[in-house]
Amino acid sequence: MTERIVETLLGLFLIYLGYRVGWKGEMGTIHRYHTAYVAEQDRMKFCRGCGIGEIAAGAGCALMPWINLLTRSAAGYWIGVLAIGAGLLGIVGTILRYNGRLF
C-alpha cells in the first residue's frame, strides 16, 4: 500500500513540475548549464519539450502501481519504465536540440 502511495505522489509531483516548466515557461527547475546556449526565441519550445518529457516520466511513475494492481502482474513496471525512459529521452533530446550539448 505504501509503495502505491509513494509512487503515485512522486509521479504527480513530476507531472506538476512538467506543467510548470512546459506550460508556464518556468526554467527555474532546469539547471543553468542545460539552458546556457538556448536562443531567446527558442526558450518556450525548449520548455515545452522538457515539460512534455517530464509529464511522460511522471505519468509512468504514477500509473505503475495502479496498472500492477489492476492486472495482478508486473505489467505496470514494464509500462512505467518505458514511459519514464521515453520521458527522459525526450528531455535529453530537447536539451541536445536547443542547447547543443548536455553539459
The span from the CA of 37 to the CA of 18, in Å, is: 21
For the chain, domain boundaries: 2-99
| pLDDT value of residue 29 | 84
pLDDT tens for each residue of 74-93: 999 999 999 999 999 999 99
pLDDT at 97: 94
Q: How many other CB atoms are found less than 10 A from the CB of residue 46?
A: 23
pLDDT for position 33:
81
Q: Which residues contact 103 (CB under 8 A, 6 or more apart)?
A: 33
State the DSSP H helix or E strand holding residue 40, giving kind and residue range, or none if neither.
none
pLDDT of residue 78: 95
What value, to the nearest 5°, has the Cα angle with vertex 61 and ends 22 and 52?
20
Please tell me the predicted confidence (pLDDT) of residue 85: 97
Please say if the pLDDT value at position 103 is more than 80.
no
Q: What pLDDT digit, counting tens, does each position of 21-45 carry?
A: 999 988 888 888 888 888 889 999 9
| Alpha-carbon gap, residue 72 to 11, rounded angstroms | 21
